[in-house]
Chains A and B, each alone.
Chain A
Amino acid sequence: MVTQTIISTAEEVIASEEALRANAYALLATLLRTPPTAETLQDLARLEPDDTDLGRAIGSLGAAAAAANAGAVGEEFHDLFVGVGASELKPYASYYLTGFLYEKPLADLRDAMAELGIEIADDSAEPEDHIASLCEIMCGLITGAFGAPASLASQRAFFDKHLAPWADHLFEDLETVQSANFYKPVGAVGRMFMRIESQAFEMAA
């Protein structure tokens, strides 16, 4: 029997690498939901690179955070993501998969959420197929925030249907869009993490 490090979450005990996955999703959700505060930027500035692709991207994010100020990042966030019709990117599954908001991918997601027993909190106004919501759902499935931790098969089913078809395209766009600065390494981290997740799910099958 392999000895494992375990990390306690609110609900259950999950293995350390699963907790790391949850943290990565939480990070992406945090950064894509709202602009970071000065305090969050300070935390991010402590991130250091290692010699993996993801580690280098994380190092770049740390460096970008160290060089950034919250006001400028807030403006960048607004230009990239906020404003119907006006934003550079529309980080919604429906938009990426059909070219329009509020299409079938959103309906499919709502069905999946109902099945998983997840609902949107009252104060959230944007459609649920926003990338941040999807990362939040993955995080919650891993940690058991919505009940017990979901089986890997159930996590994979959600990932394959609701993230895999488009999330890497969004992250690529984020890496390359002209007006992005702080968010370029966020795109790189996201793209690489999505790739790692796909590969790891393959491995588990």
Chain B
Amino acid sequence: MSESQKLTSPERRSFFKKAGLGIGAAGVAAVGLSGNSLEAAQPESPKDRTASSYRETDHVKKAYETSRF
């Protein structure tokens, strides 16, 4: 059994239900978490860098042309 499954005793589940957590969270889910001021402290992998790396789109080419690069 995984650690996350162990978290949920039936007693705990029904407590949250009675406490009214369900209703709010159901509606609240749409609001979501804005901004990410925190992150996992992991170095960016080379793969991620490639994925977000610069690509020369037509728009950029045009910009280069007009600025005579």
Consensus secondary structure, chain A interface: helix
Q: Do residues B40 and A146 form an inter-chain contact, with CB atoms below 8 A?
A: yes
Q: Is B41 an interface residue (CB 8 A)?
A: yes
Residue from the list A26, A124, A132, A151 in contact with B32, Cβ < 8 A = A26
Q: Do residues B41 and A54 form an inter-chain contact, with CB atoms below 8 A?
A: no
Q: What is the interface residue range for chain A against chain B?
A: 35 or more
* Count, A-B residue pairs, CB within 8 A: 158
Q: What is the interface residue range for chain B against chain A?
A: 35 or more
Query: Hey, which chain A residues are within 8 Å of B30, CB to CB?
Result: 43, 46
A54 CA to B9 CA in the complex, in Å? Answer: 21
Least Cβ distance of B13 to chain A in Å? 5
Stretch at the interface among B15-23, B48-56, B58-66: B15-23
Q: Do residues B41 and A119 form an inter-chain contact, with CB atoms below 8 A?
A: yes
Q: Is A129 an interface residue (CB 8 A)?
A: no
Q: Do residues B20 and A53 form an inter-chain contact, with CB atoms below 8 A?
A: yes
**8 A-B residue pairings within 8 Å (CB atoms):** A20-B25, A20-B26, A27-B31, A54-B20, A133-B37, A136-B37, A145-B40, A204-B12
